[in-house]
A = this chain, B = another copy of it.
Amino acid sequence: MIESATAERRHPTILDVASHAGVSKSTVSNVVRGLPGVSDATRRRVRAAIDELGYRPNVLARQLVQQRTSMLGVVVGDLANPFFAEMAKSVERHAAARGYTAMFCNTEGDSQSELAGVETLLQHRVAGIVFLAFSGDSRTMRETMQHQVPAVFVSCGADWGDVVSVDDELGGRLGTTHLVEAGHRRIAYLSIPELEDESDRARWAGYRAALKEAHLGPPLRISWSPPADHALVDGVERPLLDLFTGAGPVTAVFASNDVAAIALQEFADRVNLHVPKDLSIVGFDDVPMAGLARIGLTTVAQPRDELAKLGIATISDRIERRLKGPPTRKLVDVRLVARRSTAAPR
């Protein structure tokens, strides 16, 4: 092996290995792919050449000729939200277990970057896309559909792909009903900008249904960007604190996710509203933080790992043609985890 010292050593190719081992490239290919029908002697020679040269198959070339990749695109709402971070981790693990590599893109809840992300994924010819959040943007949909890329919606929803999710509406009911049963009469729904997709709508619907059943109402929707001290209440800007102090105050809030719930709890602490005495809070997701003794957030728990596992199972079934036909919809159980952030109103 003669090489100039400063030579930029390029990756050895299958041809290098072939000539090094004195065989043809197909034989090398057969060895690499572990096909039968290669004599033990040559197999050994090829193996030796492979590690001597440090050969590593070029996945790009392989996938180009095979016309399919083993890459899964994963669209994540916001990695800084522990729920998504945990989901991302689970999804990666289950994907790897089935031989897929995950390519993430973070959308920050913005349908603009969601579209750009999906675009990139498609250019990379991902075998499928796992949405952990979906804005509902129709352009994203068109781009995805049009290219016949299997899509699965995990813990979020759309009607044009397989869905693996908790029953968000039921979750909304559970959380709200818990509050109703504790004796609350004025219960608001809280969302933060990052999540206002299909899931959010379903949770909101569940909240309203629960209210209606209890003959309470009208529903009250708070849109808040923490840590601001004002928020959009049923569309009009108001100081957040007023809601909980004036006459006929809101005594309980059902938040569309734990991050929002914890932010609200933080706000309450700051303005000396006692949780749960002055204000009961229910979240959604059951992120690890919610279980800390000091946080003690009552919340609707999603079985994260199960969702991820089913999601990957579903999309790999689609990709590998074990699953055909119209979109499927699998709902897994939610359950309410009662902690210290909820109690009877004063």
CB-CB contacts below 8 Å: A253-273 with B: 262, 265-266, 269-270
CB-CB contacts below 8 Å: A261-296 with B: 262, 265-266, 269-270, 288-289, 292-295
CB-CB contacts below 8 Å: A154-194 with B: none
Instruction: Decide if A1 is an interface residue (CB 8 Å cutoff).
Output: no
With A82-B82, A146-B54, A295-B294 already in contact, the answer to whether A59 and B123 are too (CB < 8 A) is: yes
Q: Size of chain A's interface in residues, with CB distance under 8 A?
A: 49
With A54-B146, A101-B103, A105-B92 already in contact, the answer to whether A124 and B292 are too (CB < 8 A) is: no
Partner of A148, one of B8, B147, B288: B8
Closest to A103 in B: B103
Q: How many copies does the complex hold?
A: 2
Q: For A11, A262, A292, which residue has the most chain B Cβ atoms within 10 angstroms?
A: A292
Instruction: Decide if A88 is an interface residue (CB 8 Å cutoff).
Output: yes
Contact between A61 and B64 (Cβ–Cβ < 8 Å)?
A: yes
A295 CA to B86 CA, complexed, in Å:
21
Contacts of A262 in B (CB 8 A): 292
Contacts of A269 in B (CB 8 A): 293-294
Contact between A104 and B85 (Cβ–Cβ < 8 Å)?
A: no
Contact with B along A90-123 (1 / 0, CB 8 A): 0011000000011111100000000000011011
Instruction: Decide if A89 is an interface residue (CB 8 Å cutoff).
Output: yes
Contacts of A125 in B (CB 8 A): 11, 58-60
Contacts of A293 in B (CB 8 A): 266, 269-270
Instruction: Decide if A57 is an interface residue (CB 8 Å cutoff).
Output: yes
Contact between B106 and A104 (Cβ–Cβ < 8 Å)?
A: no
Instruction: Decide if A44 is an interface residue (CB 8 Å cutoff).
Output: no
Instruction: Decide if A63 is an interface residue (CB 8 Å cutoff).
Output: yes
Contact between B11 and A147 (Cβ–Cβ < 8 Å)?
A: yes
A144 CA to B101 CA, complexed, in Å:
19
Contacts of A243 in B (CB 8 A): none
Contacts of A270 in B (CB 8 A): 293
Contacts of A69 in B (CB 8 A): 60
Contacts of A288 in B (CB 8 A): 80
A295 CA to B290 CA, complexed, in Å:
12
Q: Give the shortest distance, in Å, between A59 (CB) and chain B (any CB).
A: 5
- Which chain A residues have a beta carbon within 8 Å of chain B's beta carbons? 8-9, 11, 54, 56-61, 63-64, 69, 78-80, 82, 85-86, 88-89, 92-93, 101-106, 119-120, 122-125, 146-148, 262, 265-266, 269-270, 288-289, 292-295
**29 CB-based A-B contacts, threshold 8 Å:** A11-B147, A54-B147, A56-B122, A56-B123, A57-B123, A58-B64, A59-B124, A60-B69, A64-B64, A79-B85, A79-B86, A79-B92, A80-B82, A80-B288, A82-B85, A85-B85, A88-B104, A89-B106, A92-B105, A93-B106, A102-B104, A103-B104, A104-B104, A266-B293, A266-B294, A269-B293, A270-B293, A294-B294, A295-B295
